[in-house]
């Protein structure tokens, strides 16, 4: 590292006066240089080394994206005369053309005012480095587009950085999957975990057992050609595709065409309800294993990845308990509970999966015993579970804390580290078995129209957690970069920003702006609360205000920061006028919106929400006034206003006011003011 340059591994807004680049995930090492590389009309990309088709294709995509981002017309790739401004040099071909667990994703990107070099030992690193380069391209302060002088030496912290996509509960067509892959590549995620079967739909063509997809999918399934197309598309982006076939529970859709696999006699129909259903495969029947052997063999040939996920979660045991056949089998085998029966099933399944040359993966539940050590555990239970598995010799991947469908703010996901809860104290050999993590997108409440806004931009924060050094944890800095990355993601065709006004427009007609004022400050209820707000099935339209609303309100987050700044300032002056302006606007929401909300059946459920938002804003204005006067608010005021701070249970809108916690802080401070002085 040279003198006079700043070494950035931790967050800082500026580096020696230079603006910090909006890189996400933040690289392992960033060293800012002096000056910048101008991207002018003569800009050229040249490829050398042994990267093969993956790098050649990546360079072509780079040129297309650069053209779109900057308007620069680059000549077709070819022999370069004169010095190229970006030289891509891949030292080796890597092992084959398919990404794999443990592939070398490291790269070095060097930018000087004279030119840039991207070097990597394998094609995968080139792919990652290209994304970094594109994130560095910004309009220059004075002229043209430019890339700041910088040396980036980068490699991921974890080798397994996935996104789990449920395409069963709501069907997601190929184009949705592809644009998801584009977004994943942009933030350096490297595993698409494709949840292909569940109670609500069997989403992949089986040529050996066509009744599975024909009768279990309502016509919505991927043909094998489409699967191959997706795998090839992902491979070019350095993303593995691992299929999941959830077994032996979550299998209602299998039984529509093959009722003989089920524990209880049919007929079955594709499930519309969500949750843990009773249907389960009958682990006592040899024909179950015969079909699974045939089907998984077919899938093992279709999906080249070394891993195959068999789910294994949430068997409630009701059908097993109700079956005399199962009872007799348990007695014969000496299984005291269903747990042993499930273990027996998993062991048989594990042999089948291994027989087809794959390593098996499953959710926490599969760990219950007797599985070979190459099994991988995906933990929804937590880091402790992951650590326990590692100690037993199993590799594991964390999903606890990364469920995007729970509508948590990015910061909350960002704070979850696979090595928390003492996992980092494990011996190195055990620690190496913690492979990384996966963001999970369960699709009970997501459709192709809304899924982008449920995944993005928050998945980028999880991607950073899994790629970047553990010390990169500054939340303010993360949000600033997340905002920039969110805009860039949209240039790839993701719809998470454009879909928002479009859906609001549909709800509000021409009175979009008014409704937007409310939508901007509300958030869908968190965790599994939405279940309690109405009757949902896979056929319920997801076209309401809650579906348009973003998982996280930027406005509320910024407001919370303003409140914190005010309360931290003893003079109670910091940003007071801006706060008051904001609150005054929100105080008017109810009056401004009531006519629209009452007029439209689909919006009527939001009437109480607008009322609550206005009342909270009013109370906050009062709190502000008390704080200004420097005297504690009377207890009678507190008693009157405090009920506002209790978010209603199961609100019909399934929305909550995003700025409630900040208002609570203000009100609490106003109440305590006297006592504190």
User: What distance in Å separates the CA atoms of residue 258 and residue 287, rounded to the nearest whole number?
Assistant: 11
Q: Decide: is 145 part of the binding site for a second copy (CB under 8 A).
A: yes
Among 1, 568, 601, 675, binds a second copy (CB under 8 A): 601
Q: Decide: is 72 part of the binding site for a second copy (CB under 8 A).
A: yes
Among 29, 306, 567, 602, binds a second copy (CB under 8 A): 602
Q: Quick one: 144 or 278, whose CB is closer to a second copy?
A: 144
Radius of gyration, alpha carbons of the chain? 27
Among 293, 600, 647, 668, binds a second copy (CB under 8 A): 600
Q: Decide: is 175 part of the binding site for a second copy (CB under 8 A).
A: yes
Say how many CA atoms lie within 13 Å of 309 toward its Cβ. Answer: 29
Q: Decide: is 498 part of the binding site for a second copy (CB under 8 A).
A: yes
Q: Roughly how many angstroms between the first and final C-alpha of the chain, as a whole number? A: 51
Find the part of the chain contacting a second copy (CB under 8 A) among 19-27, 135-143, 517-525, 613-621. Answer: 135-143
Tokens of 668: 């609490």
**Three-class SS state of 152:** strand
What is the CA 187 to chain-centroid distance, rounded? 11
Identify the H or E element spanning 165.
Answer: strand 160-166
Q: Decide: is 544 part of the binding site for a second copy (CB under 8 A).
A: yes
User: What distance in Å separates the CA atoms of residue 388 and residue 573, rounded to the nearest whole number?
Assistant: 51
Q: Quick one: 141 or 568, whose CB is closer to a second copy?
A: 141
User: What distance in Å separates the CA atoms of residue 580 and residue 620, rounded to the nearest whole number?
Assistant: 9
Among 2, 4, 79, 143, binds a second copy (CB under 8 A): 143
Q: Quick one: 316 or 511, whose CB is closer to a second copy?
A: 511
Q: Decide: is 502 part of the binding site for a second copy (CB under 8 A).
A: yes
For the chain, helix, strand, coil in percent to 5 are: 45, 15, 40
Residues serving a catalytic function are 314
Which parts of 392-411 interact with a second copy (CB under 8 A)?
none
Find the part of the chain contacting a second copy (CB under 8 A) among 114-122, 139-147, 358-366, 466-474. Answer: 139-147
User: What distance in Å separates the CA atoms of residue 294 and residue 92, rounded to the nearest whole number?
Assistant: 38
* Exposure b/e, 295-325, CB count within 10 A at least 16 = b: bbbbbbebbbbebbbbbbbebebbbbeebee
Find the part of the chain contacting a second copy (CB under 8 A) among 44-52, 142-150, 188-196, 422-430. Answer: 142-150
Q: Decide: is 73 part of the binding site for a second copy (CB under 8 A).
A: yes
Q: Quick one: 52 or 382, whose CB is closer to a second copy?
A: 52
Q: Decide: is 509 part of the binding site for a second copy (CB under 8 A).
A: yes
**Three-class SS state of 32:** strand
Give which of 22, 46, 41, 231 is closest to 131, Cα–Cα. Answer: 22
**Smallest distance from a second copy to CB 561, Å:** 18
Among 142, 332, 571, 636, binds a second copy (CB under 8 A): 142
User: What distance in Å separates the CA atoms of residue 395 and residue 370, rounded to the nearest whole number?
Assistant: 15
What are the CA-CA distances from residue 187 to residues 29, 269, 448, 451, 554 (Å)? Answer: 16, 39, 21, 17, 21
* Exposure b/e, 242-267, CB count within 10 A at least 16 = b: bbbbbbbbbbbbbbbbbeebbbbeee
Give which of 588, 585, 604 is closest to 596, Cα–Cα. Answer: 604
Q: Quick one: 112 or 505, whose CB is closer to a second copy?
A: 505
| Contact pattern from residue 192 through residue 231 relative to a second copy, giving x for each residue in contact according to CB under 8 A and a dash for the rest | ---------------------------------x------
Find the part of the chain contacting a second copy (CB under 8 A) among 120-128, 408-416, 497-505, 548-556. Answer: 497-505
Among 16, 35, 102, 139, binds a second copy (CB under 8 A): 139
Q: Quick one: 569 or 585, whose CB is closer to a second copy?
A: 585
**Smallest distance from a second copy to CB 149, Å:** 19
**Smallest distance from a second copy to CB 369, Å:** 43
What are the CA-CA distances from residue 122 to residues 63, 95, 128, 572 (Å)? Answer: 20, 9, 11, 56
User: What distance in Å separates the CA atoms of residue 480 and residue 156, rounded to the nearest whole number?
Assistant: 22
Q: Quick one: 290 or 506, whose CB is closer to a second copy?
A: 506
**Smallest distance from a second copy to CB 504, Å:** 12
Q: Decide: is 513 part of the binding site for a second copy (CB under 8 A).
A: no
Q: Decide: is 505 part of the binding site for a second copy (CB under 8 A).
A: yes
Among 12, 53, 67, 432, binds a second copy (CB under 8 A): 67
Q: What is the DSSP string of 417-471?
A: -TTTTTGGGS-HHHHTTEEEEEEEE--TT--TTTHHHHHTTHHHHHHHHHHS-TT
Q: Quick one: 225 or 286, whose CB is closer to a second copy?
A: 225
Find the part of the chain contacting a second copy (CB under 8 A) among 327-335, 381-389, 467-475, 540-548. Answer: 540-548
Strands (E), 170-248: 191-198, 201-202, 240-247
Which parts of 475-494 interact with a second copy (CB under 8 A)?
487, 490-491
> Judged by CB under 8 A, how many residues of this single chain contact a second copy?
38
Q: Decide: is 232 part of the binding site for a second copy (CB under 8 A).
A: no
**Chain residues that interact with a second copy, rule: CB under 8 A:** 67-73, 76, 139-145, 175, 225, 487, 490-491, 495, 497-499, 501-502, 505-506, 509, 539-541, 543-544, 599-602
């Amino acid at each position: 590292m040279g003198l006079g340059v700043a070494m950035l591994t931790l967050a800082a807004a500026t580096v020696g006066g230079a603006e910090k680049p909006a890189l996400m995930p933040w690289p392992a090492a960033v060293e800012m240089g002096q000056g910048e590389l101008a991207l002018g009309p003569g800009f050229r990309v040249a490829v050398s080394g042994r990267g093969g088709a993956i790098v050649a294709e990546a360079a072509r995509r780079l040129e297309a994206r650069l053209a779109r981002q900057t308007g620069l017309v680059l000549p077709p790739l070819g022999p370069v005369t004169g010095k190229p401004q970006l030289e891509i040099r891949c030292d080796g071909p890597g092992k084959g053309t398919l990404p794999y667990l443990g592939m070398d994703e490291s790269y070095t990107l060097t930018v000087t005012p004279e030119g840039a070099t991207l070097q990597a030992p394998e094609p995968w690193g080139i792919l990652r480095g290209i994304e970094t380069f594109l994130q560095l391209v910004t309009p220059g302060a004075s002229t043209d587009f430019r890339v700041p002088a910088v040396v980036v030496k980068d490699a991921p912290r974890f080798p397994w950085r996935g996104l789990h996509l449920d395409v069963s509960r709501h069907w997601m067509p190929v184009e949705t999957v592809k644009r998801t892959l584009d977004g994943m590549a942009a933030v350096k995620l490297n595993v698409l975990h494709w949840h292909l079967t569940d109670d609500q739909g069997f989403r992949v063509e089986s040529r050996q057992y066509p009744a599975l997809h024909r009768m279990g999918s309502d016509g919505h399934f991927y043909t094998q050609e489409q699967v191959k197309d997706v795998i090839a598309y992902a491979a070019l982006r350095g993303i593995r595709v691992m299929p999941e076939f959830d077994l032996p529970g979550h299998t209602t859709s299998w039984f529509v065409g093959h009722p003989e696999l089920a524990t209880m006699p049919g007929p079955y129909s594709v499930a519309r309800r969500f949750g843990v259903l009773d249907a389960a495969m009958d682990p006592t029947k040899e024909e179950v294993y015969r079909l699974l052997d045939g089907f998984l063999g077919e899938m093992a040939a279709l999906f080249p990845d070394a891993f195959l996920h068999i789910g294994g979660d949430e068997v409630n045991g009701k059908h097993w308990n109700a079956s005399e056949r199962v009872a007799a089998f348990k007695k014969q085998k000496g299984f005291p509970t269903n747990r042993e029966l499930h273990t027996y099933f998993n062991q048989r399944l594990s042999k089948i999966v291994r027989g087809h040359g794959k390593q098996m993966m499953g959710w926490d539940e599969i760990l219950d015993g007797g599985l070979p050590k190459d099994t991988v555990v995906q933990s929804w239970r937590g880091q402790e579970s992951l650590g326990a598995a590692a100690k037993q010799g199993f590799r594991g991947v964390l999903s606890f804390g990364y469920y995007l469908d729970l509508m948590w703010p990015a910061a909350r996901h960002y704070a979850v580290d696979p090595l928390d809860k003492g996992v980092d104290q494990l011996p190195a050999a055990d620690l190496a078995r913690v492979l990384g993590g996966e963001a999970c997108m369960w699709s009970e409440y997501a459709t192709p129209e809304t899924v982008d806004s449920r995944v993005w931009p928050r998945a980028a924060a999880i991607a950073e957690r899994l790629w970047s050094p553990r010390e990169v944890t500054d939340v303010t800095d993360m949000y600033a970069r997340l905002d920039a990355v969110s805009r860039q993601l949209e240039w790839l065709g993701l719809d998470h920003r454009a879909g928002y006004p479009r859906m609001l427009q549909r709800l509000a007609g021409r009175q979009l702006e008014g409704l937007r004022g409310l939508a901007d400050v509300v958030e869908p209820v968190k965790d599994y609360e939405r279940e309690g707000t109405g009757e949902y099935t896979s056929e319920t339209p997801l076209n309401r205000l809650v579906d348009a609303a973003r998982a996280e309100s930027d406005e509320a987050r910024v407001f919370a920061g303003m409140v914190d700044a005010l309360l931290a300032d003893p003079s109670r002056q910091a940003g007071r006028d801006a706060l008051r302006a904001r609150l005054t606007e929100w105080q008017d929401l109810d009056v401004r919106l009531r006519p629209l909300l009452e007029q439209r059946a689909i919006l009527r459920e939001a009437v109480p929400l607008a009322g609550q938002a206005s009342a909270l804003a009013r109370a906050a204005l009062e709190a502000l006034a008390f704080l200004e006067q420097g005297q504690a608010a009377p207890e009678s005021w507190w008693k009157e206003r405090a009920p506002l701070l209790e978010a209603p249970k199961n609100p019909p809108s399934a929305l909550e006011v995003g700025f409630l916690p900040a208002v609570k802080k203000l009100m609490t401070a106003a109440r305590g003011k006297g006592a504190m002085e």
